[in-house]
Structure 1
């Protein structure tokens, strides 16, 4: 009887070890993927902001710098199932992001962008695809060779099992990546998160022609200026899923005329935008749901390995140790 029990315990132990390996190294990679058919809306808001707005004056678009504005930025992300690389159970997703920022008081559009890119469903990093493009001016799309990654690095989220290290995060204004460095652990509405910070000092991003009156040169009908951009983005990330829970963008833009240096120009944007409470609450709820499901594939394998090891050791001890002789 003792021998039979020993074999049963060893068998159960081997089964537990095998099941743990199956969950962690087969099921987890197949299930820990970003969705193909995402449909998500997030809202960021800010007040006391300086921004350049374009208003119709006598049917003529007229730029004007306004102060103490309250802005709302709405971002809608959807999945593009028509991209050739997007297949059911595949490793590539195509996401489209549409963002518009408006002045709460006047309703005037302050900024807008539209872009599409493909993502590795495991790492969340951008990959090359046919559908990738950037559009920051109505009717104009910036495309690139389908074999080149147009918007490299991370864009919408961090990878599953985010680590306490730096990552490369894409900046749409810079059109390149910048380092998002790990800045510590934090808590957002009761959810444990990692905090990452991406910073860049004043960087030239464009040259454009503007009315001289916009930069204090009233005697010049137009002036070619350089636009400089600086920004600090702070991101609070749920590490198991890599989801962005809260985001804060503190940015500044200025127009620098010839003969002047950054810091001596005309400020056309200065403000801080944050995801609002409603968006953060929704992100927290979704992250908790997803981490609960993922724990079956990350926590339980460890439990199964420990239990399996114990069962095998007990079974072997019962099998190998000599049985005590019964007193005659």
Structure 2
């Protein structure tokens, strides 16, 4: 009877410890990564916004009290050469179009493509085909090994830390430090809040029609200034950005004009709709059990396995019986756990269902760039 107890303790202990090790060393790097085949659409809205609109056939003009809708689509570029099964890099494309709701006039649009580290979410280089385009025909591409869009562009790292991060600002075209600002509940999920304020920053100097800035002159040289207060709600275990709120201010200033005295060309707040936030939360809820299995569960199994092994070894030393049975149980338990856990992890690998060898080209969606 005591021999059976020793064998059971050692076998179960070996099973638990081996399963924990395989989950930690094999399953985690295999499964905790950004997916190649992402395909999502999110919508932000704003009310009472001041913005420049471009009526068909007419001159640009500033309008107030607008209701805006910004639609963003993110998808994976499976045809990119950097995309490999179980590789460390993925390639995502993002397209955003902002329209005013009354006449469906396009205020702005952009398309960009970035290579990302699948575990940290950071942009990486070299990245063949990396670009951003905010005006049709004026695409900015990466130069050799230069990182064109550094920092975090879409998500935060797995197991996000409560510290400053670098978030890429698509207007400034450079990363800006975003600060940890606390924790809160979002639809029942514990999330981290990150926020920053970019003070009014000069973007460039150019000529505009005098009518746009209230001048009788046919053309006026102005400097465009941009500032934003941005708040992101991030689920820390997955790094998913669940909610975004941006209070954006852009102003054209003629020579000698102080801050606030120029012509506002965008002033208002855009925020992800409740439907988009709920969709993000629902997706995270689906992923959290998988993440639990490769983060928390390995620790539990290793601790439990260690305790069982210690108990079995103590009994074995005290009674000095069951050495052969205990050793056999130890080997069988470890081998069985390794085989089962390894097989389940490989079967769950999201890259395993992708036919990356036969991708002819990336999808060609209408991004709405005008």
In the superposition, the TM-score normalised over structure 1's length comes to 0.94
The residue aligned with 1:248 is 245
Alpha-carbon distance, 1:11 to partner: 3.7
The residue aligned with 2:355 is none
Q: Which has the higher contact order (CA 8 A, sep 6+)?
A: 2
The residue aligned with 2:189 is 191
Q: Distance in 2 between matches of 1:241 and 1:93?
A: 16
Equivalent pairs counted in the alignment come to 319
Alpha-carbon distance, 1:317 to partner: 2.4
The residue aligned with 1:135 is 133
- Secondary structure of the 2:36 match is coil
- Contact in 2 for aligned 1:134/1:141 (Cα 8 Å): yes
Residue 147 (structure 2) aligned to one of 136, 146, 149: 149
Question: Is the counterpart of residue 93 in structure 1 residue 111 in structure 2?
Answer: no
The residue aligned with 1:164 is 162
Alpha-carbon distance, 1:211 to partner: 1.0
- Secondary structure of the 2:34 match is coil
The residue aligned with 1:313 is 310
Q: Distance in 1 between matches of 2:205 and 2:84?
A: 41
The residue aligned with 2:332 is none
- Secondary structure of the 1:77 match is strand
- Contact in 2 for aligned 1:96/1:114 (Cα 8 Å): yes
Alpha-carbon distance, 1:258 to partner: 1.5
- Contact in 1 for aligned 2:89/2:117 (Cα 8 Å): yes
Deviation per residue, 1:249-275 (Å, 9 max, x gap): 111000011122333321111101110
Q: Distance in 2 between matches of 1:206 and 1:23?
A: 52
Q: How does 1:1-328 map to 2 (within 5 A)?
A: 1-56=1-56, 59=57, 61-128=58-125, 129-218=127-216, 220-321=217-318
- Secondary structure of the 1:163 match is coil
- Bigger CA drift: 70-79 or 21-30? 21-30
Alpha-carbon distance, 1:297 to partner: 0.7
- Contact in 1 for aligned 2:129/2:142 (Cα 8 Å): no
- Contact in 2 for aligned 1:209/1:224 (Cα 8 Å): yes
Alpha-carbon distance, 1:14 to partner: 3.0
Change (3 A) 1:146 1:35: farther
Alpha-carbon distance, 1:322 to partner: 5.9
Q: Gaps (5+ residues) in structure 1? A: 324-328
- Contact in 2 for aligned 1:2/1:319 (Cα 8 Å): no
Structure with greater strand percent: 1
In the superposition, the TM-score normalised over structure 2's length comes to 0.83
- Secondary structure of the 1:138 match is coil
Q: Distance in 2 between matches of 1:198 and 1:19?
A: 42
- Contact in 2 for aligned 1:160/1:239 (Cα 8 Å): yes
Structure with greater helix percent: 2
Alpha-carbon distance, 1:213 to partner: 2.0
- Contact in 2 for aligned 1:3/1:318 (Cα 8 Å): no
The residue aligned with 1:326 is none
- Contact in 2 for aligned 1:179/1:199 (Cα 8 Å): no
Q: Distance in 1 between matches of 2:79 and 2:307?
A: 50
Change (3 A) 1:146 1:291: farther
Q: Distance in 1 between matches of 2:77 and 2:66?
A: 35
- Secondary structure of the 2:316 match is helix
- Secondary structure of the 1:127 match is coil
